[in-house]
């Protein structure tokens, strides 16, 4: 079952015309769409409703042009990351599965999805969440038909964060929570990343004291987002599988810090595209579909030995600084500002850096 991939610009926060256009020209049908990963232009915070607006617009197109019912469409994983700071263009990457196959001699993009068991407010930031996420990642691997964790190159997740109502619910049932509401986005992301890392054998199961504290523990393929719109971990797992069919391959690397443009090119090489020793955007020949990366301000307040002020800035939150900077580096690397850059990268790549994933058109 081959995967088709399309990167679609969002002209407005509720624009899904690009999705309708892809369906109309026969690139894929509405009923073949299995996942969407997108960037919206909101503030990227707890109250960023642009994610919900984009989600509603895309699901409405699938209802209009397809035959699936409301419940089936609601179950399609759509991971929307808010905040297009700097040069980042709002866009969506749409994944569709058709009935084509390919030779076993060629390894091509495969996708699996899964939903975890219900996550209680008191699970966030604790081993129970790590275990539930790890179980869901293993289920997504099985759904993708991937047996070897080394063939997994990208695990995009969406998990719940805390709200005041959720905290009250936990207290009413006699439980406490691991963090404050406004810390919960980073804590949810970090705990989820450890679940990914455990499932793929990147780290051993951590103790409670290591979660969101021991930053030497990380996944090199996890990209974790959180929001108010769900109560489970939503998993979209991408890797390569022999015989999967299609034109696309995926690879990954890590950016060691916010300036590590070589990390971007290393992910493209890992996907299978040959590049010169010192590549430029034009060397990609239009074969990079998209790059996906996580980033975070280095908590040590430095970058390559130079002092950084983003963690001290009272006017602009650090995550907007970091996202804009890394987005600029990635856009320069591939020659396209429509790149997926998400913050809160705790346990996702090395401290001050983050995972970088590339999908390329490998040809027939």
Alpha helix segments (H runs only) across the chain = 17-24, 50-65, 70-74, 127-144, 164-172, 184-199, 261-271, 318-334
Rounded to whole angstroms, how far apart are CA atoms 225 and 79?
8
225 is annotated as an active-site residue? yes
| Selection from 296, 322, 337 nearest residue 88 by Cα | 337
253 is annotated as an active-site residue? no
| Selection from 294, 288, 320, 333 nearest residue 79 by Cα | 294
- Rounded to 5°, the CA angle 144-344-217 comes to 70
DSSP bridge pairs for 152: 239
Compute the Cα dihedral for 3, 78, 218, 45 and give only its sign.
positive
The number of beta carbons lying within 10 Å of the beta carbon of residue 71 is 7
Question: What is the DSSP code string of 36-96?
Answer: EEEEESS--STT-THHHHHHHHHHHHHHHHS---HHHHHTS-EEEEE---TTPPPEEEEEE
| Burial environment of residue 183 by CB neighbours within 10 A (0 to 12, 13 to 18, 19 or more) | middle
DSSP bridge pairs for 358: 251, 291
| Selection from 13, 31, 30 nearest residue 21 by Cα | 30
Choice among 116, 120, 225, 267 that is catalytic? 225
Choice among 158, 219, 223, 267 that is catalytic? 158
- Tokens encoding 180: 């404050």
Q: Catalytic residue numbers?
A: 158, 225
């Amino acid at each position: 079952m081959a995967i088709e991939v399309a990167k679609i610009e969002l002209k407005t926060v509720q624009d899904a015309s690009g999705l309708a256009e892809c369906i109309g020209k026969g690139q894929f049908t509405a009923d073949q769409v299995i996942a969407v990963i997108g960037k919206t232009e909101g503030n990227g915070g707890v109250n960023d409703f642009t994610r919900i607006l984009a989600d509603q617009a895309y699901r409405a197109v699938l209802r209009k042009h397809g035959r699936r019912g409301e419940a089936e469409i609601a179950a399609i994983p759509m991971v929307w990351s808010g905040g297009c700071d700097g040069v980042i263009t709002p866009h969506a990457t749409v994944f569709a599965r058709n009935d084509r196959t390919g030779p076993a001699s060629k390894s091509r993009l495969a996708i699996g999805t899964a939903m975890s068991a219900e996550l209680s407010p008191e699970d966030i930031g604790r081993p129970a969440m790590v275990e539930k996420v790890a179980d869901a990642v293993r289920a997504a691997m099985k759904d993708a038909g991937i047996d070897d964790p080394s063939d997994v190159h990208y695990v995009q997740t969406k998990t719940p964060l805390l709200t005041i109502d959720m905290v009250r619910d936990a207290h009413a049932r006699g439980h406490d929570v691991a963090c404050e509401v406004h810390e919960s986005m980073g804590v949810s992301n970090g705990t989820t990343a450890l679940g990914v890392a455990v499932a793929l054998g990147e780290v051993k199961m951590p103790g409670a004291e290591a979660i969101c504290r021991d930053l030497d523990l990380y996944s090199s393929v996890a990209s974790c987002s959180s929001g108010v719109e769900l109560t489970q971990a939503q998993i979209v797992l991408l890797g390569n599988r022999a015989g999967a069919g299609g034109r696309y391959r995926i690879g990954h690397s890590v950016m060691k810090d916010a300036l590590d443009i070589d990390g971007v090119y290393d992910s493209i090489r890992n996907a299978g595209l040959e590049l010169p020793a010192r590549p430029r955007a034009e060397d990609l020949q239009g074969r990079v579909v998209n790059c996906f990366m996580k980033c975070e301000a280095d908590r040590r307040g430095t970058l390559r030995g130079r002092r950084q002020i983003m963690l001290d800035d009272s006017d602009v939150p650090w995550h907007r600084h970091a996202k804009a900077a890394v987005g600029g580096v990635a856009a320069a690397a591939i020659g396209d500002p429509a790149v997926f850059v998400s913050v809160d990268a705790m346990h996702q790549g090395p401290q001050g850096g983050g995972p970088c994933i590339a999908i390329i058109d490998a040809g027939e």
